[in-house]
Amino acid sequence: DTGVSQDPRHKITKRGQNVTFRCDPISEHNRLYWYRQTLGQGPEFLTYFQNEAQLEKSRLLSDRFSAERPKGSFSTLEIQRTEQGDSAMYLCASSLGLAGTETQYFGPGTRLLVL
Amino acid sequence: DQQVKQNSPSLSVQEGRISILNCDYTNSMFDYFLWYKKYPAEGPTFLISISSIKDKNEDGRFTVFLNKSAKHLSLHIVPSQPGDSAVYFCAASPAGGTSYGKLTFGQGTILTVHP
């Protein structure tokens, strides 16, 4: 068990460019979550998957954001036409998906800076 | 609206003494509560959790107390060690229904343990 991994760890891009982040969850985990954290705040929920199905999306996830989890394994988060306000740490977490004892394990995050 | 609040941005404690971190919540649908520790440039690390059917849970030096009527939880670290210096987040989620597992985080408390 290598834990949750995320790639890349850091991304610097220019405003208007598209970026894509990848998350590999713990292998037996059914649920995969994306969060965003800005300076001085706690992580904020963006979206989550149960296997390959995307079950909920936050209002924070504008139309420029899209997430996928093909085959219920790794997930990608794409941001199109990036804006400076997208600069943040993007965190991925996974869990077994057991109601009542839902402990999520986080990856190291991808830090995005939009210039 | 901030459904989970950590009103103390920082806490400073001497090594060997007790650290007490507090968290308040407003959403009565929250049934499962977790504490995470976060070092700079890393993702949050799970510490300890508690279900609403309990009022206390212990794991080594870490104890979490839950007061449902007051909608308040606290994390006690005894004895505190310099390696405990980090940002601590409390998080909450419903234990069932369609939104179980969707974590709502507080803003975090920076704990500094002095040797």
Contact criterion met (CB < 8 Å) for A56 and B41: no
CA distances from A63 to A49, B37, B87, B99 (A): 18, 32, 32, 22
CA distances from A104 to B5, B36, B82, B97 (A): 20, 10, 26, 17
CA distance A55 to A24: 18
Mean pLDDT, all residues of chain B: 93
B65 pLDDT more than 80: yes
Confidence (pLDDT) at A99: 66
Per CB distance under 8 Å, which residues of A are interface residues toward B?
4, 6, 31, 33, 35, 40-45, 48, 55-56, 91, 93, 95, 97, 99-109, 111
CA distance A93 to B102: 11
Of the candidates A36, A44, A5, the residue with the CA atom closest to the CA atom of residue A111: A36
Cβ(A91)–Cβ(A36) under 8 Å? yes
Confidence (pLDDT) at A60: 80
Span B14-27, average pLDDT: 97
CA distance B112 to B11: 6
